[in-house]
Chains A and B, each alone.
Chain A
């Protein structure tokens, strides 16, 4: 039980006299293809084992009349021993003269695929183990697929147990050919294939003498040849906005747009555009606590910025450099992706899921399954109507509002996403292509709604003549929520006194429940508001509501849902819209009474009221 700790203590990067260079490498392979033996051997041959452990395990094997295997050693070091399989991505530490390694031992059993993926997603290189005698198995192919999707660029294939096939070159070559052909379809090109016998120590830490036909490196030599991943400073600038902070303690008046830079560099004075809102500004300062002043920052840094102008942006937007418009991100509601599914429940069409891409959360639906790949032979199943656990599929997704993203072939970090189902990360994937957002689920729903609408025998005109005014949805928006709300309620009161059939509804009343996070529920809140507006205006009323911080996409959604009626959008206070023009712009430079009079006068101009 305590041996794992001892192991990690002994070989932990703490006791170092060499440099700080550290690399995560994931090792994957089908069960019984010798993964544990490879790790056990690597640790033994680099003197990374706790004192006496090797002797202890050897003695145990001798006493129990079993041939010693390095796999036992590793098993002995793991508290998952009782189950005989690695249930989580255990980490083993060892070092060479060049650097420290953390070997992430990913479980081979398919039940633990999500653990393998968590481990592998952190890796800079992957070692794929294949048994020379058994050859390429279904899991070998599935693992190849995962490595491809996870974006691990440095892949080395270890063909193990060469001792069982008399160190024959043609066995090795045959596996290399077969697996290469398979990986090629996934756009994975292994750096090299290494013939090994983990049991005999061939080509593990040093070159084997038993395979004169092989001149390549041993595993250890190859590991030292892996290149450290360089952060993508040379690529177009992307920073997903994680949050916007304004901490007012100690008279701090900075409004800081913060996040971790995914790629590229940016300097003070450069212009920035936020996607998808398309709002723009200029970098005023780069903010960091207790750090030297920065004028330029780049990929990998968790940082903050102040802007020269006060624009309203939300967490989740993508900050892009204004001078890099040639490399602007895509903005759409529809896109084609490759996905692998880990969820207990299958992924089904038209169910609402949560999409997380960069810092953006959005609701998303599966609209079309292009094909489901059988990961074992890459044959596709065309007629599948859902995606099962462990399936890899090419599908089309649709978000309820346009989101900003990159194609994963252009920029990896902003081109990949996860899907949350029932609170769990159930799928992960990469974006292959943008699709035009002409057709949308919402549009179809509204068309269907209007087609099947059960019309009453009363006409809109007859209601208008009875009430003495036309129906109208008046939507107030602005940054000062409570002042705006007060104005909306004052308008309701005035119209009521003028004998109008009027109703004010607070946006908050449309929330799911008080405990829910507003930001996640916002799209649903907007949708409900639109549906209600359709009903209340149809009843002939003047319907008033206030939703703070609307963006142009919200307004598009509301306009679509309110059809066939129009919306009067009134912006109060600072106007943060850049790409959309509200119907009325009011400032707080007048009394509430005067502002109410302005709206009433606009309603008269529009012939809503007499």
Chain B
């Protein structure tokens, strides 16, 4: 190859957020190109909201992938309000699913009938599994009315984009960007497909479900830096509302507790994280179900938890 004789225009070097963004965008485009029945999970939390923003980056302002939310009906009410506001504003293809039976029969922890872990299994893992498969009713937002209606599409989603990060906890650090689950949703931790350079496993036998993890390399700090830089609208439950408390990780209100913090905006959260204040406290320490699981999500994840 000849070396370049002419002087090239200067391109601004990419910083660490640019690089993380580029890789995530690349993975999202790869997923969109390779899988037909694709959806993206949106938990309303900071990570999956960043993922949603990255989808808008990948597809130039559009989000051509349905967003699926599993509504446990014990979510902090502000989360649902925020979800629907943003869905209307960005014209998202918004779908939610639920475990109607468990809710009707009060097979939940807040109803006092089962353990936290079993409750997670009922309202999240099971609801997710059957919502993805199309067996249970999905509700889709009708943008003409702004209301949800039972979705006529009952095709199973076989590709699911998830906002898991590897720094979050141990079991997630063994994930791949494209990770297969078999029909039983089983995850063979010991036999993961190889990923070479930017070539990912995108060929799957019929019946395989694929989890796509575009945020695997992001840390909690990266997420906040990016939210700050991009000015991504995020639910204000993450910020201190003057009571000296904020949520660091969002979930159902009976099982999620706030952390002591006076961070009122993204820059203050970034400062707080950089200060090392939480360096010995796991991000999900406010999530009670993890503790019942011996401090790891591996059991839940094998059963399909995201």
Interface residues of A (CB under 8 A from B): 1-2, 4-6, 8-10, 12-17, 20-22, 50-51, 79, 87-88, 90-91, 93, 114-115, 117-118, 121, 150, 231, 233-236, 242-243, 245, 247, 249-250, 252, 254, 256, 258-260, 265, 267, 287-291, 295-298, 300-302, 304, 315, 326-327, 342, 354, 356, 410-411, 413, 416-418, 420, 423-425, 428, 515, 517
Contacts and interface: CB of A to CB of B under 8 A. Distances in A.
B81 interface: no
B33 A88 contact: no
Tell me the dominant secondary structure on chain B's binding face. loop
A106 to B, nearest CB: 12
Contact of B167 (A8, A259, A301, A315): A8
B19 A252 contact: no
Contact of A16 (B56, B169, B198, B274): B274
Nearest to A15: B279
Nearest to A520: B203
A15 B278 contact: yes
Contacts of A21: 16
Contacts of A252: 60-62
Interface in B1-60: 1-2, 4, 8-11, 13-16, 18-19, 21-23, 25-26, 29-30, 32-34, 36, 56-60
Contact of A245 (B10, B60, B193, B199): B60
A17 B166 contact: no
A302 B194 contact: no
B4 to A, nearest CB: 7
Nearest to B166: A91
A418 B196 contact: yes
Nearest to B34: A517
Contacts of A12: 167, 219, 279
Interface stretch (B145-153, B170-178, B255-263): B170-178
B194 A115 contact: yes
A208 B198 CA distance: 40
Given A288-B57, A300-B14, 11 more contacts: A1-B296, A8-B167, A8-B169, A12-B167, A15-B274, A20-B16, A87-B189, A231-B13, A250-B91, A290-B56, A423-B205
Contacts of B13: 231
A566 to B, nearest CB: 36
A4 B170 contact: yes
B205 A9 contact: no
Interface in B200-226: 201, 203-206, 208, 219-221
Given A13-B219, A14-B273, A118-B192, A425 B199 contact: yes
A290 B232 CA distance: 10
A425 B201 contact: yes
A197 B53 CA distance: 48
Contact of B1 (A242, A411, A418): A411
Nearest to A83: B190
A231 B199 contact: no
B103 interface: no
Interface centre among A17, A50, A291, A423 (most CB of B within 10 A): A423
Given A8-B170, A14-B220, A424-B203, A114 B194 contact: yes
16 contacts: A5-B295, A20-B15, A243-B32, A247-B61, A247-B62, A250-B61, A252-B60, A260-B25, A267-B9, A289-B61, A302-B29, A304-B60, A410-B1, A418-B196, A428-B199, A517-B34
Contacts of A258: 29, 60
B194 A342 contact: yes
Contacts of B295: 1-2, 5
Contacts, number: 202
Interface centre among A8, A51, A252, A287 (most CB of B within 10 A): A8
Nearest to B23: A302
A228 to B, nearest CB: 10
A8 B173 contact: yes
Contact of B278 (A14, A250, A298): A14
Contacts of A20: 15-16
A244 to B, nearest CB: 10
B199 A91 contact: no
A406 B200 CA distance: 20
B80 to A, nearest CB: 25
Nearest to B19: A300
B294 interface: yes
A242 B193 contact: no
B29 A425 contact: no
Interface residues of B, number: 73
Contact of A243 (B29, B195, B198): B29
B26 A115 contact: no
Interface of B: 1-2, 4, 8-11, 13-16, 18-19, 21-23, 25-26, 29-30, 32-34, 36, 56-62, 64, 91, 166-167, 169-170, 173-174, 176, 189-190, 192-199, 201, 203-206, 208, 219-221, 230, 273-276, 278-283, 294-296
Contacts of A2: 170, 294-296
Contacts of A423: 201, 203-205, 208
A118 B22 contact: no
A316 B192 CA distance: 26
Contacts of A254: 60
A76 to B, nearest CB: 13
A547 B235 CA distance: 50
A-B pairs, top 9 by smallest CB distance, nearest first, are: A15-B279, A2-B295, A298-B11, A302-B25, A114-B194, A15-B276, A4-B170, A247-B62, A302-B22
A88 B189 contact: yes
B60 A256 contact: yes
Contacts of A9: 279-283
Contacts of B221: 13-14, 16
Contacts of B203: 354, 420, 423-424
A115 B174 CA distance: 10
A324 to B, nearest CB: 8
B276 A17 contact: yes
Nearest to A20: B16
A247 B189 contact: no
Contacts of B30: 242
A260 B21 CA distance: 11
Contacts of B91: 249-250
A425 B193 contact: yes
Given A13-B219, A242-B30, A424-B203, A302 B58 contact: yes
Contact of A515 (B201, B206, B208, B283): B206
B19 A245 contact: no
Contacts of A118: 176, 192, 194-196
A398 B193 CA distance: 25
Contacts of B16: 20-22
Interface centre among A1, A2, A5, A287 (most CB of B within 10 A): A5
A115 B193 CA distance: 8
Interface centre among A15, A115, A327 (most CB of B within 10 A): A15
Contacts of B294: 1-2
Nearest to B231: A290
A416 B36 CA distance: 27
A236 B18 CA distance: 22
Contacts of A295: 9
A236 B230 CA distance: 31
A5 B219 contact: no
A327 B5 CA distance: 12
Contact of B26 (A256, A302, A315, A354): A302
A290 B219 contact: no
A235 B1 contact: yes
Contacts of B190: 87-88
A5 B26 CA distance: 28
